[in-house]
Amino acid sequence: MKNIILFLSLMLALAACTKDKPSLAGKYAGTFRSSSPTSNSAPSNVTLNLTKDGYSGSSDASYPVICTGTWKQGGSTLHFEAGCNFLVPVPYLINGDYSYTLEGTRLRFSATRGDYTEIYDLKRVD
């Protein structure tokens, strides 16, 4: 009996510690900007549509480049795999790992690439 109570207590403790990450799937709108020690880009307005494992979006400027692709959420990181191919490197392509925070409906994510940082500040709109 004592072992059963101990086992059930451990199971309840583990269940209480396990939290599922909230789903980020949805439509977001906001801004993108790039920052470096010597300059800051003008913000551009972006939309980002996250489905279960895919993404698409647009920008009102020539940056960032948002193709269709896949994404994964892990810990405090978002990983994007762009589905578009370019013959030359494209700056400000949403691709690779970004650290993120989610506060209510506000999704912020950023990544440092060399001497500049890409910063997305979005709000869920659906």
For the chain, which ranges sit under pLDDT 70?
Answer: 1-21
**How far apart, in whole angstroms, are the C-alpha atoms of residue 6 and residue 36?**
55
From the candidate CATH numbers 3.40.50, 2.160.20, 1.10.286, 2.40.128, the one assigned to the domain spanning 21-124 = 2.40.128
> What integer pLDDT is reported at residue 71 of this predicted model?
97
> What integer pLDDT is reported at residue 1 of this predicted model?
52
Domain map (residue ranges) of the chain: 21-124
In this structure, are residues 110 and 119 in contact, taking their beta carbons and an 8 Å threshold?
yes
Residue 84 exposure: Cα atoms within 13 Å on the Cβ side: 14
> What integer pLDDT is reported at residue 88 of this predicted model?
84
**How far apart, in whole angstroms, are the C-alpha atoms of residue 15 and residue 112?**
36
Task: Give pLDDT tens digits for 93-114.
Answer: 999 999 999 999 999 999 999 9
> What integer pLDDT is reported at residue 85 of this predicted model?
87
